[in-house]
């Protein structure tokens, strides 16, 4: 048994959404019913070329050998020509069409031109084209967070008669690890991811007979964690000082913070980026008495970013700014004076009692000496009188 495997890449809609279909030409001659059973057991089904684009591509991929190939088309009167997935034949590419009767469809490789469909008796033996498992047309990203990503996809329409499930794999481009799970759902939520890191998500279909399609993949970079505790430290007529708490400790690479500002009128805007792991910034060159919208978000060199945090500010007038500066200077002077007075009274309170005790002690000594001298003097006078 010989298989010729190709990829079927087709445009599914005007948006150029591509679908991958794996085709296998089995070069063993069998009846249409036996070929149908073989494809159902070892692949998905006989090939379904339900559009002109798929039919034209099938003609290109039939191989260089001669003879006819069974395809998934049969005439089940009175329903007419139908594909094995239940859809009706919607175009005419017959080289010769059978007027009536139970017939099966084939494509003849010996004919030239686009009209190569031939009706044949279903018990005839021919080679045939099997269709492998088909992945989803596209994988859509519904949500991207700092540690979680949500995806959804559509079921392959050509596999609605086949029992299958989805193999979902998640691969980290930095850590080089990969995990996979089987699910029958058409959506998934992957959590526990690293903030600011790129991941590749692949979804493939797996039939109950262990036939797996090629994957449909999408690469997503998780968001960084947004700054928290954003605070306006000071503001005047032309500048504003901001600070926040750094939340990038779990990221693989150090992040910076991008601060964009725009006046509500839209006539004055700008962007500033901090140094890595710096959690404060001073915006200068603002206009006085103007309301600004500030957006603060974390970014890194991988292109990841966080959800922006929005702050509204209103700069003061110039004269108010001068008054504010004077008041601040007066406050500084008053604080210095208060500090000096506290130091002065503290020193006076600490050292005054010691000086009083010393003076009292000296006075007591002097008084004792005077009394002693006075007593001695009195005694001397009494002796001289005697």
CATH of the domain at 41: 3.10.100.10
Residues 203 and 292 in one domain: no
Q: Which of 180-189, 238-247, 251-260 has the lowest mean pLDDT?
A: 251-260
Residue 73 has pLDDT above 80, yes or no: yes
Residue 371 has pLDDT above 80, yes or no: no
pLDDT at 110: 85
Tell which of 131, 157, 184 closes a domain: 131
Give me the phi and psi of 203, to 5 degrees please: -125, 125
The dihedral built from the CA positions of residue 67, 28, 161 and 78, taken in this order, carries a sign that is: positive
Residues 114 and 146 in one domain: no
Tell which of 288, 316, 344 closes a domain: 316
Length of the chain: 386
108 contacts: CB under 8 Å, gap ≥ 6: 67, 68, 69, 95, 116, 118
Residues 236 and 296 in one domain: yes
DSSP string covering 233-297 = EEE-SS-EEEEEE--GGGSSS--EEEEEEEETTSS-EEEEEPPTT--EEEE-SPPTT-EEEEEEE
pLDDT at 14: 28
Tell which of 294, 316, 338 closes a domain: 316
Say what the pTM is: 0.64
5 contacts: CB under 8 Å, gap ≥ 6: 22, 23, 24, 132
Domain count, the chain: 3
In Å, how far are 53, 136, 137, 201 from 168, measured between CA atoms? 29, 12, 15, 7
- Please give the residue range of the domain that contains residue 74: 3-131
pLDDT at 351: 62
Residue 379 located in a structural domain: no
Q: How confident is the model at residue 16 (pLDDT cuts 50, 70, 90)?
A: very low
Residues 217 and 233 in one domain: no
Residue 358 has pLDDT above 80, yes or no: no
Arithmetic mean of pLDDT, 27-52: 90
Residues 38 and 18 in one domain: yes
Q: Give the pLDDT confidence of 191-242 residue by residue, as tens digits.
A: 999 898 899 999 999 988 888 888 999 999 999 999 999 999 999 989 999 9
Using an 8 Å Cβ cutoff, are 255 and 224 in contact? yes
Residues 168 and 189 in one domain: yes
Arithmetic mean of pLDDT, 38-65: 84
Residues 196 and 163 in one domain: yes
CATH of the domain at 258: 2.60.40.10
d(CA 376, CA 279): 86
Residue 116 has pLDDT above 80, yes or no: yes
Residue 152 located in a structural domain: yes
Q: What percent of the chain has pLDDT over 90?
A: 40
pLDDT at 174: 77
Which of the pair, 34 or 57, is modelled with greater confidence?
34
Q: Which of 11-15, 104-108, 207-211, 325-329 has the highest mean pLDDT?
A: 104-108
Residues 158 and 208 in one domain: yes
d(CA 127, CA 231): 74
Using an 8 Å Cβ cutoff, are 104 and 123 in contact? no
Residues 151 and 216 in one domain: yes
Residue 376 located in a structural domain: no
Q: Which of 65-74, 120-129, 163-172, 359-368 has the lowest mean pLDDT?
A: 359-368
pLDDT at 54: 87
Arithmetic mean of pLDDT, 14-32: 66
Residues 150 and 237 in one domain: no
Residue 369 located in a structural domain: no
Arithmetic mean of pLDDT, 315-338: 79
Residue 252 has pLDDT above 60, yes or no: yes
Q: Which of 62-66, 281-285, 320-324, 356-360 has the lowest mean pLDDT?
A: 356-360
Residues 204 and 234 in one domain: no
Residue 106 located in a structural domain: yes
pLDDT at 44: 86
d(CA 18, CA 166): 19
Residues 255 and 312 in one domain: yes
d(CA 210, CA 331): 80
d(CA 365, CA 251): 79
Residue 318 has pLDDT above 90, yes or no: no
d(CA 94, CA 104): 13
d(CA 40, CA 164): 12
d(CA 88, CA 357): 119
Q: Which of 131-135, 197-201, 320-324 has the lowest mean pLDDT?
A: 320-324
Sheet strands side by side (includes 216-221):
178-183, 164-172, 198-207, 216-221
């Amino acid at each position: 048994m010989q298989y010729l495997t190709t990829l079927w890449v087709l445009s599914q809609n005007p948006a150029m959404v591509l679908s991958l279909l794996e085709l296998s030409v089995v070069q063993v001659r069998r009846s249409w019913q036996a070929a149908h059973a073989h494809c159902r057991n070892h692949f998905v089904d006989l090939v379904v070329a339900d559009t002109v684009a798929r039919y034209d591509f099938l003609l290109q991929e039939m191989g260089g050998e001669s003879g006819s190939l069974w395809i998934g088309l049969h005439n089940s009167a009175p329903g007419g020509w139908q594909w094995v997935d239940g859809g009706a034949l919607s175009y005419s590419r017959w080289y010769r069409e059978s007027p009536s009767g139970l017939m099966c469809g084939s494509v003849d490789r010996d004919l030239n031109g686009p009209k190569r469909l031939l009706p044949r008796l279903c018990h005839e033996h021919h080679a045939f084209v099997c269709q492998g498992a088909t992945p989803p047309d596209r994988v859509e990203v519904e949500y991207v967070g700092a540690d979680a990503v949500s995806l959804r996809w559509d079921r392959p329409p050509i596999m609605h008669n086949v029992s299958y499930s989805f193999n979902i794999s998640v691969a980290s481009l930095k850590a080089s690890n990969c995990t996979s799970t089987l699910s029958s759902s058409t959506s998934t939520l992957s959590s526990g991811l690293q903030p600011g890191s790129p991941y590749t998500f692949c979804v493939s279909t797996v039939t109950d007979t262990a036939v797996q399609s090629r994957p449909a993949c999408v690469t997503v970079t998780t968001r960084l964690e947004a700054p928290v505790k954003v605070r306006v430290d000071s503001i005047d007529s032309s500048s504003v000082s901001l600070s926040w708490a750094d939340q990038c400790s779990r990221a693989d690479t150090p992040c910076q913070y991008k601060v964009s500002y725009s006046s509500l009128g839209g006539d004055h805007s700008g962007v500033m980026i901090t140094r890595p792991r710096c959690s404060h910034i001073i915006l200068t060159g603002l206009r006085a008495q103007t309301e600004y919208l500030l957006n603060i978000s974390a970014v890194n060199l991988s292109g990841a970013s966080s959800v922006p945090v929005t702050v509204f500010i209103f700069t003061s007038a110039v004269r108010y700014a001068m008054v504010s500066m004077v008041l601040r200077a007066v406050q500084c002077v008053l604080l210095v004076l208060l500090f000096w007075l506290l130091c002065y009274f503290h020193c006076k309170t600490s050292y005054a009692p010691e000086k009083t005790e010393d003076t009292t002690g000296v006075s007591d000594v002097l008084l004792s000496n005077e009394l002693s001298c006075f007593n001695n003097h009195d005694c001397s006078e009494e002796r001289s009188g005697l």
